[in-house]
Amino acid sequence: MVFALAFGSESLAASISLDSSVFVERSKAQSRVLEPASELSRGDRVVTVLTWKRQAPGGQFVVSNPLPRSLYYQGSASDSEEVSIDGGRNWGKLGSLRLGERLATAEDVTHVRWKIESPRTSGRIAYSAIVR
């Protein structure tokens, strides 16, 4: 997965690190478990977990991720995400974006991003997608 960061200053960029892990959701004995994604099949639910760390509490930054064409967006564990349906040029909530005359759907999402405003020095973001 490719993630990008946007900052108000270069010094902030140097103090933040990102790590991502990709899991596939499997059903086992009346429960669902996440396993490291070593092999994916059409219809699999994929969960991506992004962990961010910074050296000191600080200002706002933005984490954005282009979705691979092989996935369609399902949702985020945070309600603060914004999505793009046009390659990252315009952003908004999924229920408010239009593609021509119709409302955009999860299958139209090309990018997802989060504005991190927390003064904390670390955190996690998770989102799910379905393999096309």
**Domain span holding position 99:** 4-114+122-131
Query: pTM value?
Result: 0.80
Spatial CA neighbour of 23 closest among 115, 131, 108: 131
Q: Give the span between the Cα atoms of 45 and 95, in whole angstroms.
A: 21
For residue 38, the tally of other CB atoms under 10 A from its CB is 7
Q: Give the span between the Cα atoms of 124 and 20, in whole angstroms.
A: 9
Q: Give the span between the Cα atoms of 116 and 3, in whole angstroms.
A: 14
Per-residue pLDDT reduced to its tens digit, 54-101: 888 878 889 999 999 999 999 998 888 999 999 999 999 999 999 999
Report the domain count for the chain. 1
Least confident window among 16-25, 28-37, 45-54, 80-89:
28-37
Is the pLDDT assigned to residue 9 strictly greater than 70? no
